Amino acid sequence: MNKKGVSILVEYLILMSILTLFVIVMTLQLNHQLKEIQLGKVIENQFSDVSAEISSQIVDIASITPRNGYVSAKIYMPKSIGDREFYAGFRNVGNYTYIYIQSDDGKYEKYLGLGATILYFQTSGMTYSLSGNHSLEYTKRTVIYPSAVLIPKPSIVYVNASSPGEVVFDVSKSSAYGWWTWKIALWNGTEITGDMDDTTYTLSINWDPTEFSTFCNYDSVNLTAYCNVTLTVSDVIYHMNDTDTVELTITQNISSNPDIFIKKFVIPPQVSPGEPFEIHVYIQGKGFLTEGRGAKLSVVHVIDTSGSMNWETKYETFSGYITPSVWDVQLNVDSSFLGKPIWIQIYTTDSLSPWWDGLDKDDAIVARVEQADGDIWYANGELGSLNGRYFYDSYVSSSEIGIWNISVIASIPDKTIPLIIDVYRYDGYWNLVYTTSTSYTANYSTETIILPENYTRNDQYEYLVVKLSSPYYYDFNAWIEYSSVLDYCYDYWGYPTYCLEDPAPATTYTYYVVPYAFDASFYEGESSIQKLDSSRIAAITFNSMLESGDLVGLVDYSYYATKHPVNTSPYLTYLTSNTSAVDEEIKDLAPSGATNIYHALNQSKEVLLENTTIISGTIPLIILMSDGEPTWGSYAWDPSDPYNDPICDGSSYCSSGANRAIDEANTIKNTTIGGENITICTIAFGYDANTDFLQQIASKRSDGSKCFYTATNYQELVEAYRDISKTFRLSAKNVTITDVVPSGLEIVGTPSVTVTGNATAGTPVTYSTSQGTAVQVNISEVYINDEIELVFQAVAYKPGDYSLDVYGLSNVTYEPYPFTGDIQVYNLSVISGRVSTDEMAVVEIS
Amino acid sequence: MAGMNDRGQLIILFALIVSGIIVTLSVIYTQNILAGMESSRIIMVFPKEEIRNLRDIVEEDFIDSMGLKKDEFDEYTYNVSRDIRILYAQKGSYGDIAVFGSYPSALTSTVSYFNVRITYIGGGIEYNDTTLCRPEGCI
């Protein structure tokens, strides 16, 4: 029974196992068949989807391709299809490029042609379906080479042994693709760096013959060094560099000949076919203001002597910090003082001479008492018999018992004095219970004001005012010292620290600023002189810059104008080459009356037209300075009765007088002497000058700007005169720029020329030569510090490297100083440009 | 009784196997249904117009504004850039056109050429283009 039972069970298990195995095998086979049938279709569809997705991305990217950048697009694909992983990428078959997808077992694959899109990019890369991310990246880089252009301003630097010279390195004409940085290497190895946000650098140069002889080409005879400065421009995208080297002239020799600085460059140095190069030829007049006059000047100073010219104008400003020297004493007010009066004397036994002579010497001391209960009192009582202050408290209360802090300052410069504190307690009599002393030296500051000699009659200025500004003047005392004079600066109509020297000799003044308050710190102030005195300095300074043979005259005006005889010649009365004669006349001018600008112009015209034969060949120039506006000189103005004008009131703007002045100015500007138009330069002096009117009567410069200046103080006025002087300093004459662009390049657009300064340039012309196309422009004269830039565009249509000029034909010819008629030729350096197609873009799958 | 038990076991066995087959086929069938979705979605969502708009602003508006002085041009482009960033942010993407260098013409002191970076990020697309633009166009 048991044996039978076991046998049946074994038989059952065997049969079931065989049957189950058979069923599983058969089922798996069926499953495989069913799945493979479906999977093939699904893979086909999924591969189509992925390839279509990649293709769509490529087509879309192609519609927005960046010129220089990238497009990154995510690709979405299943990690597996059924149980199959796969690869996606690009594959070249024959001359065609396909998107290629293949299952990892190699059984399934899909190709999708990219068609004509591959004309515009190359393909690369592959991605595996199990990768975390898939992307398609299109990149295109167009290499643009940087261009380094270094322009030193000025290109010749004056440096003397005691003061450094300055040069501004201008790299703003450099260019590169994207962000760029620059580095300037000086002759001695020093490197200066910057980026495109900061394209100028001011370098201070000290005179160092040892350095110059080591690193530069040094001419020890003429004290001139020729030093190379190299600019390197680097772009941060391609890390490419370009360099430009210029020779900087550093000299102590102010009589070195003027010349011109010439530079040619191209922007950008690489373009695509059909894109234009912009070719620049830059000229800078170099030299110093004391040289380079091509023609003599006939200049008339027209100086306003109306009443307002007596007003003050700022001469100099100053500022500084001073921390007061404070003597601090702690006083123990114990219970013995309780309920009793206390008397504290703070004084000096010094005479305080000479600083406080004639003044209330008690005022020299400032004392502060802080009682134990925190109350603070200033010792305002004046001792009278002693030089100092006292503090008195009639009743010392219990809360005041303790330590008292006494602080003292003495306002006296340049002297050490004894300071004493005596403390009295009233014990039925004044009992001296405490005394202490110190040797005290005040902190103070000095400001120096120099009124120069030889600008005023007897070297006496009308007045000099020196004062501190509000609110600082409350915190200080001030003295002024010059020669043997020492003056305390009083409170003048609400202006403390106000010193007025009237008259003021031409000498050096020392202004002492001494703290008078515990919290004194910063101060600022200014000195002022008469406006007319400022004008004297400016006009005489201008005269000192005139060359031998220049003619100068003087007209001053208020109600009417006066032309000053300065020459004893029978041929010329109002102009002279003897500037001293004019200087002496300027020194005698005095302010009063109204402002008749019409008559001023009229008289200055008469000065220039007195003898046009003699002054022919000179540059006729009128420099009219005014601090106001036309208030006199209507059409009814009668020269025979110059103090009676029925229309103008002499104190406010008079339109009829102004119109008459404008008419006269136009007449003058249209008047020529020896072929030269008379130039009117105007200077608006002070804040009340009518700048619109003065600008209207000024002549136009060749660059379109008016020969008009504003000056609100003495320094600006001198600078205006100096600039006018500079206007007529020549670096070169008869300058001709000729640039020949070789065959293969075509000039496009209209060449143009820009002028900064006073140079007069003609219109550029273009013409054909056997060597190519020439662009030419004539510039009649280049003045010192003028900048002229010829710009034109050239285009090439075939890739390649092009020379952008023809050596020998591309040049600048000019008549150099001292203008003997000889012509100098400067051959433009050969520069090249590259015309290239864009580099092929790349599409990479990853 | 034993015969009945045998049949039941086989039925259960077959049912399990068939279920497995159906599940497997369902997954595959689902993948088949999803095929085509991605390519369709990509075609629909690719931000061509958004990127073109940025380029148009550079190539038309900015270039037209090169008649301005450098300072005015810089201020104008800065303001446009700021507005663009705000507008694109409101649409859930990042768009910017940043002029990072402009150079005045030696002729007129107006802008001669400028460097600009166009950036767009959104919809799985990242676009970056750094170009140098002149009145004749951008390169």
- Nearest by CB: A64 against B13, B105, B127: B127
Task: Report in angstroms the alpha-carbon separations of B12 from A21, A97, B8.
Answer: 15, 54, 6
- Total number of domains in chain A: 6
Residues of chain A with pLDDT under 50: none
Give the distance, in angstroms, between the CA of residue A227 and the centroid of all CA atoms in the same chain: 25
Same domain for A425 and A470?
Answer: no
Chain segment A441-459, per-residue pLDDT in tens: 999 999 999 999 999 999 9
Same domain for A720 and A769?
Answer: no
**Is the Cβ–Cβ distance between A209 and A224 less than 8 Å?**
no
Sign of the alpha-carbon dihedral angle for A303, A308, A309, A313: negative
Reading the block at residue A381, the tokens are 């009582």
- The closest of A534, A512, A535 to A525, measured between CA atoms, is A512
Go through chain A and tell me how many residues it has.
846
Same domain for A794 and A813?
Answer: yes
CA distance B32 to chain A (A): 5
Domain borders along chain B are 2-35, 46-138
Cα atoms found within 13 Å of the Cα of residue A482, Cβ hemisphere only: 21
Q: Is B118 on the interface with A (CB under 8 A)?
A: yes
Same domain for A513 and A642?
Answer: no
Omega of the bond prior to A273 within 30 degrees of 0, cis?
no
CB-CB neighbors (< 8 A) of B13 in chain A: 20, 23
Please, what is the angle between helix A2-63 and helix B37-45, to 10°? 20
Same domain for A738 and A832?
Answer: yes
Q: What is the pLDDT of residue A703?
A: 58
B residues 70..109 contacting A (CB < 8 A): 100-101, 103, 105-108
Please, what is the angle between helix A714-727 and helix A531-544, to 10°? 30
The answer to whether residue A315 is domain-embedded is no
Contacts of A476 (CB under 8 A, 6+ apart): A322, A411, A468, A496, A497, A513, A514, A515, A516, A517, A520, A523
Reading the block at residue B7, the tokens are 């049949």
Same domain for A243 and A173?
Answer: yes
Same domain for A7 and A112?
Answer: yes
The per-residue DSSP string of A159-224 comes to --SSS-EEEEEE-TT-B-SSSEEEEEE-TTS-EEEEETT--EEEEEE---HHHHHHHSEEETTTTE
User: How does pLDDT run along chain B (139 residues), one tens digit per residue?
Assistant: 445 555 677 778 778 877 877 777 677 667 666 656 665 666 667 888 888 899 899 888 888 888 888 888 999 999 999 999 999 998 888 999 988 878 776 556 678 778 888 999 987 889 988 887 877 677 7
CB-CB neighbors (< 8 A) of A53 in chain B: 38-39, 42
Three-state DSSP state, A685: strand
Same domain for A367 and A448?
Answer: no
- The closest of A789, A701, A690, A804 to A745, measured between CA atoms, is A804
Contacts of A579 (CB under 8 A, 6+ apart): A543, A544, A546, A550, A552
CB-CB neighbors (< 8 A) of A275 in chain B: 134, 136, 139
Give the separation between CA A657 and CA A440, rounded to whole angstroms: 65
Q: What is the pLDDT of residue A694?
A: 94
Q: Where among A520, A541, A561 does a domain terminate?
A: A520
Sequence-ordered strand ranges (E) for A534-617: 551-557, 561-563
The answer to whether residue A844 is domain-embedded is no
Taking CB atoms and an 8 Å limit, are A66 and B129 in contact across chains?
Answer: yes
Rg (CA), chain A: 45
Please give the single-letter amino acid code of residue A641. Answer: D
CATH number at residue A336: 2.60.120.380
Taking CB atoms and an 8 Å limit, are A34 and B21 in contact across chains?
Answer: yes
Contacts of A410 (CB under 8 A, 6+ apart): A348, A364, A365, A366, A417, A419, A440, A442
Omega of the bond prior to A764 within 30 degrees of 0, cis?
no
- The closest of A310, A307, A312 to A559, measured between CA atoms, is A307
Give the separation between CA B139 and CA B129, rounded to whole angstroms: 10
DSSP H or E run through B23: helix B2-34
Same domain for A557 and A636?
Answer: yes
Same domain for A453 and A502?
Answer: yes
Please give the single-letter amino acid code of residue A803. Answer: S
Give the separation between CA A290 and CA A470, rounded to whole angstroms: 42
- The closest of A301, A309, A300, A302 to A590, measured between CA atoms, is A309
Q: Select from A67, A129, A144 the residue whose CB has the most chain B CBs within 10 Å, as the one to mutate to test that interface.
A: A67
ipTM of the complex as predicted: 0.79
Q: Is A752 on the interface with B (CB under 8 A)?
A: yes
In the DSSP assignment, the letter for residue B57 is I
Contacts of A16 (CB under 8 A, 6+ apart): B6, B9
Go through chain B and tell me how many residues it has.
139
B residues 8..37 contacting A (CB < 8 A): 9-10, 13-14, 17-18, 20-21, 24-25, 27-29, 31-32, 34-37
**Is the Cβ–Cβ distance between A598 and A657 less than 8 Å?**
yes
Same domain for A121 and A17?
Answer: yes
Give the separation between CA A732 and CA A776, rounded to whole angstroms: 17
**Distance between terminal CA atoms of chain B?**
90
Residue A191 belongs to what domain range?
Answer: 143-256
The per-residue DSSP string of A72-97 comes to EEE----S-BTTB-EEEEEEEETTEE
CB atoms within 10 A of CB A152: 23
The answer to whether residue A462 is domain-embedded is yes
Q: Which residues of A285-314 are buried (b: 16+ CB within 10 A; e: fewer)?
A: bbbbeebbbbbbbbbbbbbbbbbbbbebbb
Same domain for A16 and A124?
Answer: yes
